[in-house]
Structure 1
Amino acid sequence: MTPRPGSLFAPGNIALSLLALAIIALIVPGLVRWSLIDATFHGTMADCRAGAGACWAFLGAKARFILFAFYPGDQLWRPALVIGLLLGLMTVSALPRLWGRRLLVGWIVTLPGAWFLMAGGGPLRPVAVNDWGGLPVTLLIWTSCMAFALPASVLLALARQSRMTGLRLLSIGYIEGLRAVPMVAILYVAMLILPMALPAGVIVDKITRATIMTTLFFTAYLAEVVRGGLQTIPAGQVEAASALGLGYWRTVRMIVLPQALRRVIPGLVNLAIGFLLATSLLAVIGVFDLLNAAKASTTDPQWLGFYDEAYLFAAAIYFAICFAGSRYSLWLEGHLRRG
């Protein structure tokens, strides 16, 4: 019996599988030798230069800088606590049974608290924004953008579907205008133009400016994803809600949005992961995010040029967060479908 073209044992699938196995057999032995067998786990730069494998001793010496950049050494408990708070907040937010007003209060309290921990004030020693960097900055900007962009995108998507011509045209102009501009240009606006637009005497640090402009930028992309979900809701459901006496906002809150957001979970998670990876562009305005801190760690004269190890360390952190997000997306889809 001839295998079907889409079956596991089709000739094309067999050929691709054999090709993948050949590539793995070609790459893995050398990678294992470089990363484990010939690697240097302890020592100095001279020891690493003498070896033929990876220099994991570099990470032992520079991991603190990659994670926290120039943050004062005696205050590292603060950015470490920020990492724990933000990861804990995202973990709690991932549990549907905890969705509600208490979770909203948790976001309202935790995000400003994280910014306060990083900046200091009162009993905490102030730390200049130029000393911030590494993983706390990446997570802080990412979670702040998502916290403000998601509700704003819902309102923007609803405005684009509004029957009010003026409101609809404004939302279309906002969405299409920002989607037509590269993010690097938005960051330059935050760095060069936004300070000139502020009133005299008002000074906003570069990380806050970058967070604001990045939030406005990604709101436009999220709005289109949400609008795609809104368009899948049959008009009959809205008409039925109207016949039952439900007003516009109750219909949106109780009938339209729960279904629309559930149907665009993959798109929302995909954009969220894209937001996380796009924080690396903050390097163009001098913000030491995780990737920029990893790059800067390789310029230390005592540990010069170990790019592979630095980028692998940063890549492992990005992968852990992104992989957890993708698996959570699959789980949430199945959980809500059963519900």
Structure 2
Amino acid sequence: MSDTHQQSIAFVRDTMLPEAPPPTAETGIVKWMRENLFSNVTNGLLTLAALAAIYYLLSGFMPWLLNGIWDAPSIRACREVLQGEVGGCFAVLTERWNQLLFGFKYPDEEYWRPTLAFVLLFAAAAPVMFPNHVPKALLVFTGLYPFLAYWLIWGGPILSPIFGLLGFVVGYLVWNRLVAQSFAAGFFGAIIAAMITWWLGGMIVEAMASENTLLAAVPSRDMGGFMLNMILGTVCVSLSIPFGIALALGRQSDMPIIKWICVIFIEFIRGVPLITLLFVANVVLAYFLPPGTTFDLILRVIIMITMFASAYIAEVIRGGLAALPKGQYEAADSLGLDYPQAMRLIILPQALKISIPGIVNVAVGLFKDTTLVSVISMFDLVGMIRGPILASTEWNGVYWELLGFAALLFFVVCYGISQYSQWLERQLQTDHR
């Protein structure tokens, strides 16, 4: 009786069993592969096909890369060293690196000047790109950098960048005077005032030209290589964003003249290929200048590329402005803000945040389009490869090494721009999801 009663008592565990490890198929790399690569039959077949394609490409690429020759005076010497084996002739990069980066006319002893300007570019861009992580006092250097970089790269009298800075000061004063009437009127008025100041300054510098300069002058025709692509890309992107904002706001202006000027400009530029504008800058523009007038070719190209990019950025920003609800404009009016204050404090910050992907898309495309200047006899990176290097008897026939190097440089810059834009979008993401 007692035994039966004891057996009917429920068992209560007072200690936990040790946790058993999860099945191998439900953890680690095996789980990841099952979920992402072999989740079903179709994905498994696609994964195997992709692996086969990667293996096929690497089996041909890796021997070419690992057996590459880095020290040889010509392509014939590379072939003699390889003796029929697969391998790249990378000696062209070690022999012609200076021409690929700086062109074939920029003085060798002055390479430090564009290199220093390139390094200082990061210090100048940091306060604008990372305002919450860099002291705002560096914005002073950001404002001075364009004139310092111009003097470092081109050299010549130091009065040239000084008058350039003076032109921006005059333009800023005109902006403050006219912006209360209209943003577009203030912007374009500032541009006209700055251009007049630069023109007068150029005449004074030319009249006071002296051989005793701190930095030797380097003419624009001696610029080349990847340095030229960086100059065009950096300057044109930096200028096209404010011009694009002004055009977008001008297109929505209540002033009919300003509105139709912006509309005609945007529609005309967007309907013309960039290569046509470059030919206009190279040939046709000289016919509209007074006889004997010299107009720097790089400056003409910068103007045309900036016009081209500004028209596209204006449409991107106009889309951002149209995406804002009408209540944002009404909120600015209810706060008693005038037009410039409403645009600067409420409307444009939101519109630009919406427009970041489109602006970056235009910037990346613009930087790659700088290679089109090679068709007007400007020896940028692609122009150097197609012209002096491949035309020489030593390296005639080296294609993949040179074009791969150019692709790598452009990929690094464009990928960096893309990653920064994604980081900026995350920093500006203030909505709740």
Counterparts of 2:396 and 2:328, CA distance in 1: 63
Q: Which residue identity lines up with residue 176 of structure 1 in the other structure?
A: E
In the TM superposition, what is the alpha-carbon distance from 1:102 to its structure 2 partner? Answer: 5.3
After superposition, the Cα gap between the structure-2 partners of 1:218 and 1:310, relative to the gap in structure 1 and judged at 3 Å, is same
Q: Distance in 2 between matches of 1:102 and 1:193?
A: 44
Report the secondary structure of 2:68's partner residue.
coil
Q: 1:34 aligns with which of 27, 46, 64?
A: 64
2:290 is aligned to: 199
Task: Pick one of 92, 100, 117 that aligns with 2:152.
Answer: 117
Contact 1:295 1:310 in 2 (8 A): no
Structure 1 residue 126 displacement after superposition? 1.6
Partner of 1:95: 130
Matched, 1:328 2:420: yes
Residues 86, 139 of structure 1: 8 Å contact kept: no
**Identity over aligned pairs, percent:** 37
Q: 2:73 matched to 1:44?
A: yes
Q: Which secondary structure state, in structure 2, belongs to the residue aligned with residue 96 of structure 1?
A: coil
Out of 302, 305, 320, the residue aligned to residue 397 of structure 2 is 305
> What residue is the counterpart of 1:65 in the other structure?
99
Displacement, 1:108?
3.5
> Using the alignment, how far apart are the partners of 1:80 and 1:306 within structure 2?
27
Q: Which moved more, 1:173-182 or 1:111-120?
A: 111-120
Amino acid at match of 1:114: A
Question: Which AA in structure 2 matches 1:307?
Answer: Y
Corresponding residue for residue 189 of structure 2: none
Q: Distance in 1 between matches of 2:398 and 2:304?
A: 33
**Is 1:40–1:47's contact at 8 Å kept on the other side of the alignment?**
no
CA contact (8 A) 1:93 1:103 kept: no
2:32 corresponding residue in structure 1: none
Partner of 2:372: 281
Q: 1:99 to 1:286 in 2, by over 3 A?
A: farther
Deviations 1:298-326 (A, max 9, x none): 32222222111111111111111111111
1:85 corresponding residue in structure 2: 120
- Stretch of structure 1 that moved more, 94-103 or 105-114: 94-103
Q: Deviations over 1:189-211 (max 9, x none)?
A: 11112122123443111111101
- Cα distance between partner residues in 1 of 2:134 and 2:253: 28
Alignment of 1:1-339 (within 5 A): 8=36, 9=39, 11-36=41-66, 38-45=67-74, 46-50=76-80, 51=82, 52-69=86-103, 70-97=105-132, 105-121=140-156, 122-296=213-387, 297-338=389-430
Contiguous gaps of at least 5 residues in structure 2:
1-34, 157-212
Cα 1:289/1:255, change in 2 over 3 Å: same
- Matched to 1:117, the amino acid is L
Task: Sort the Cα spacing of 1:13 and 1:265 in 2 relative to 1 into closer, same or farther, 3 A.
Answer: farther
CA distance in 2, matches of 1:336, 1:103: 22
Structure 2 Cα separation of the partners of residues 202 and 27 of structure 1: 55
Give the aligned residue type for 1:56.
F
Distance 1:15 1:267, change over 3 A: farther
Relative contact order (C-alpha < 8 Å, sep 6+): which is higher?
Answer: 1
Report the count of equivalent residues.
332
Please give the per-residue CA displacement for 1:68-105, whole angstroms capped at 9, x wherever unaligned: 11211121111222322334434553213268975654
In the aligned structure 1, how far is the partner of 2:134 from the partner of 2:338? 24
Q: Distance between the aligned counterparts of 2:420 and 2:278, measured in 1?
A: 30
Q: Could you tell me how far 1:179 is from its partner in structure 2?
A: 0.3
Shift in Å at residue 14 of structure 1? 3.8
> Do the aligned partners of 1:40 and 1:56 also contact (CA within 8 Å) in 2?
yes
Counterparts in 2 of 1:155 and 1:287: CA distance versus 1, 3 Å: same
The residue type equivalent to 1:161 in the other structure is Q
The CA RMSD measured in Å over matched residues stands at 2.1
Q: Which amino acid aligns with 1:292?
A: G
> Once the 2 structures are TM-superposed, how far is the Cα of residue 330 of structure 1 from its aligned partner?
1.1
TM-score of the aligned structures, taking structure 1 as reference length:
0.91
What residue ranges of structure 1 are gaps of 5+ in the alignment?
Answer: 1-6
Contact 2:124-2:139 at 8 Å conserved across structures = no
Kindly indicate whether the alpha-carbon contact (under 8 Å) linking 1:86 and 1:140 is maintained by their aligned counterparts in 2: no
